[in-house]
Structure 1
Amino acid sequence: MSVAALVLGLFAFIAVLRILDAQRVAGGIIDTTQQALSVMMNSDIAVEDKEAQVQRASIKLLGGFFWITAIGAASLGASAFIVWGGAALGFYTVDKAISVALGWPFIIGSTAAAIALWIALEKLQKTTPEANAPAEVPYSPLDKALHDFAFASPERQIRLGALETKLYGRRIRTETSKKPVFITSLPRAGTTIMLEGLASLPHFASATYQHMPFTLSPLLWGGFSRKFRKAGDKSERAHGDGIEVGLDSPEAFEEMLWMAFWPEHFANNRITPWTAEDEKPEFEAFFRTHMAKIVATKPGATRYISKNNANIARLALLERLFTDASIVVPIRNPRAQVRSLLRQHLRFADLHAREPFARRYMEGIGHFEFGAALRPIEFTTLRTSLPAPEHVDFWLRYWIDAYQNVLATAGPRTFFVDHDALCATPHSLLHELTAAIELEDQGGVSAMADILRAPRPTPDLSAASPSLMQRADILHEELCSQAIGRTLSPTGKVMK
């Protein structure tokens, strides 16, 4: 009888842990600790703000420790009550129960049973519709801690990249930094699809999720992380747009390099554009070496390709630094793009309110486009009466400012692509695009057409200002008139 009582006590112990959600409470303690460490290591936060945030975290941690202690006491109390109750009823003595509990057979057996029971309950819980939903932030506490550590110090990332250059000097071929391709536009213009299609060709290499979070040392960290990360599995990204990503998927991590070398352009509430005259020789040298490193991560690749939405704020500088580069700017109908921008902002604002790490992640990789992480690029200083980002006119004005700036700063190596036309008739425009970016072997580009979806009917932005909408329509037509396929010379070459 004593064994049966001890087994029931074990079940009671686990039941109370789950009922009081001990796993969530413990996770909250870990998250709070990580946030506090991230604040302490962040050099952009003032000392006074650090002290205030760390004090709040300390109070929260104290409450968490009291709560987890209470849960532990309640679990032990439930188990002890069952065992004591059996002894009180005369089924066995307390000494007998303690003797059995301290014996090796029961210790080993109960441990195995507890683990099996916990795993079974986890699997049972995951059969519910809510548990089957994809995780919005699929990172373990260890993953979060590693990312926070990497994001906290851009200087550390630069030093690690410099060390990598010394260690992998023989694999880094500087000639592969020639003829890079930079894909850029405002978000939701088709840049991700463009990157996925071109990066799948054997000629191009791009940064991938395998290189996170130490993206400035892709050879060193990418090779190390591949040892313990499982490639191949894909899941829908946080945007909820149906695009699935895995460790080998290309992604926009280039902005971390710009943040590391140009911190003065990243204010707390905005990003200031670059000019063609901006100069930092150490940045240019590091960037060229970094591009060669990325190419070295993909066997057979000969050219670097990236997607970076913020590059629309530095078109002239990119063309000056890399005279042989091709800059591809997808252009999407403003009605569809603005509606998507607003939806994504609201989606990420909600996510950031519920998942603080999601905001830290986006800010750490330089994605300041949406939600609580929003830092608009200051294309114009004449923004005295902007509506809130929750209103469609904010994004419509931002769209107009952005693409007016693109028209004003784009040079002869910047190529516009009508995204809607590309999706409707991909084959002909794809071949013209590959000719524009000087891709010698165009045989595999037809496969890219398979990932393009026909454009949906243009939505009606009824809440938008009619005058702003008219300006956006005129600007959209002007951009598309300069897109590839619209401006061809008699020889078939793209003209600017």
Structure 2
Amino acid sequence: MSDYGILGRALHRMMLGSTAVAETGFSIDQALSKARQPADVGQGRHVFVSGLARAGTTALMRRIHAGGAFRSLTYADMPFVLAPNLWSMIRGGRVKRIEAGERAHGDGVIVDAESPESLDEVFWRIFDGESYIRPDRLLPHDPDTALTDRFTAYVGAILASSGDRRYLSKNNNNVLRLPALARTFPNAVILVPFRAPLDHAGSLLSQHRRFGERHASDAFSADYMRWLVHHEFGGDHRPFATHDLSEHAPDTLAYWLDQWIGVHTHLLRSAPEAAQFVCYEDLCDDAALWPALAARLGIDAGAGSDAPFVRAAARPPGDPLPAAQLARAEEIYATLRQRARAPLRAAA
């Protein structure tokens, strides 16, 4: 983000920061791609990966994408994420070279122009942001049929830009609208990764501090995250309001454990029955889990094997947490693991 020059930043502000320009780009792109969009895009076997940030969503999405069966939005689509066909015409089919490097999270994930990324939330912000984005939180989102039809056409345009027929999305904010996605794409697979509560909460706290410092020193970085509706942590953190918000300060582990408890309680209650929960610890430790998932997705389990699922380093001891909070988190984690294993055992 901080590597963009003056012209690059200006283009991002125009295409992502201006609702009118973004809507115009979307309309032009629809006109350009309409004839090439798959007629049955709404019935496609697409894949949506969504969970609380730091749950392993990126690792899972990248492993699925490695097989080459899917079209995902990538850094090469920025900043014309609502108009991929128009952007391809403008750049003459050439992809700007982005030097491979570690992403801003400092977690060892290497990205370049072709790396898939969470970018389709721009659609929901531009066309319906007022219904769910608040200055201090993100509300559960239930888009109407007219808007989900428009989103279907958006997915169709993304597929038309490459000729692929299956779409892969990693969008943590979809936690807020999973039932709507299941209704809109009845044949899609929804994957909901989750992670052990204390490790997960510790990772969120670490990233919150990291991005808080970054946003305080780099205004464009803060704007970039706001345009993409990445409020998971940092200077403009806005929690998912799927539950009573924590009374603890965001700079404490107790706050992030409350977030973990609230979001996963919501997911257990509201995620579509067909959604596949995925335990990241099991994905790392159980050699049979990934092939079972790959079979359900209809992809080659061997693709991306050079990037295995790896547990993060253990969380160092921190401030003591209330026993009741810890017990509740572990209870939810056990329930999630049971729900994650049942469908795959049944399909085996």
Q: Same fold (TM over 0.5)?
A: yes
Q: CA shift at 1:232, angstroms?
A: 6.0
User: Alignment partner for residue 231 of structure 1, among 97, 115, 129?
Assistant: 97
Q: For residue 135 of structure 2, what is the aligned residue in structure 1?
A: 268
Aligned length: 345
Gapped regions of structure 2 (runs ≥ 5):
none
Q: CA shift at 1:226, angstroms?
A: 6.2
Q: For residue 145 of structure 1, what is the aligned residue in structure 2?
A: 10
Q: Choose 266-275 or 396-405, whichever is displaced more.
A: 266-275
Could you report, residue by residue, the CA deviation over 1:257-293 in whole angstroms, capped at 9, with x for unpaired residues?
1111222210111111024xx4141x22221111122
What TM-score do the two structures reach when normalised by structure 1?
0.66
CA distance in 1, matches of 2:92, 2:276: 35
Spell out the pairing of 1:55-204 with structure 2 (5 A cutoff): 137-177=2-42, 178-204=44-70
Establish whether residue 251 from structure 1 lines up as the match of residue 117 from structure 2: yes
Q: CA shift at 1:459, angstroms?
A: 2.7
Q: For residue 338 of structure 2, what is the aligned residue in structure 1?
A: 481
CA distance in 1, matches of 2:111, 2:104: 10
Could you report, residue by residue, the CA deviation over 1:389-424 in whole angstroms, capped at 9, with x for unpaired residues?
111111100000000000001122200111111122
Is contact 1:173-1:292 (8 Å) kept?
Answer: yes
- What letter corresponds to residue 465 of structure 1 in structure 2? P
Q: For residue 24 of structure 1, what is the aligned residue in structure 2?
A: none
Q: Secondary structure at the match of 1:370?
A: coil
Q: For residue 348 of structure 1, what is the aligned residue in structure 2?
A: 211
User: Alignment partner for residue 291 of structure 2, among 431, 451, 473?
Assistant: 431
Q: Which has the higher helix share?
A: 1
Could you report, residue by residue, the CA deviation over 1:135-168 in whole angstroms, capped at 9, with x for unpaired residues?
x721111111111112222232122111112123
Q: For residue 236 of structure 2, what is the aligned residue in structure 1?
A: 373
User: Alignment partner for residue 285 of structure 1, among 149, 159, 170?
Assistant: 149
Q: Secondary structure at the match of 2:302?
A: helix
Establish whether residue 455 from structure 1 lines up as the match of residue 322 from structure 2: no
Cα distance, 1:203–1:478 mapped onto 2, change above 3 Å: same
Q: CA shift at 1:455, angstroms?
A: 1.8
Is contact 1:183-1:329 (8 Å) kept?
Answer: yes
CA distance in 2, matches of 1:462, 1:375: 24
Determine which structure has greater relative contact order: mean sequence separation of CA pairs < 8 Å that are 6+ residues apart, divided by chain length: 2
Give the % identical residues. 30
Q: CA shift at 1:175, angstroms?
A: 2.4
Is contact 1:150-1:157 (8 Å) kept?
Answer: yes
Is contact 1:328-1:414 (8 Å) kept?
Answer: yes
Q: Which has the larger radius of gyration?
A: 1
CA distance in 1, matches of 2:214, 2:235: 9
Q: CA shift at 1:224, angstroms?
A: 2.5
Q: CA shift at 1:467, angstroms?
A: 2.1
Q: CA shift at 1:377, angstroms?
A: 1.0
Is contact 1:174-1:288 (8 Å) kept?
Answer: no
Is contact 1:231-1:248 (8 Å) kept?
Answer: no
What TM-score do the two structures reach when normalised by structure 2?
0.93
What is the root-mean-square deviation of aligned Cα atoms in Å? Answer: 2.0
CA distance in 1, matches of 2:45, 2:242: 27
- What letter corresponds to residue 65 of structure 2 in structure 1? A
Q: For residue 470 of structure 1, what is the aligned residue in structure 2?
A: 327
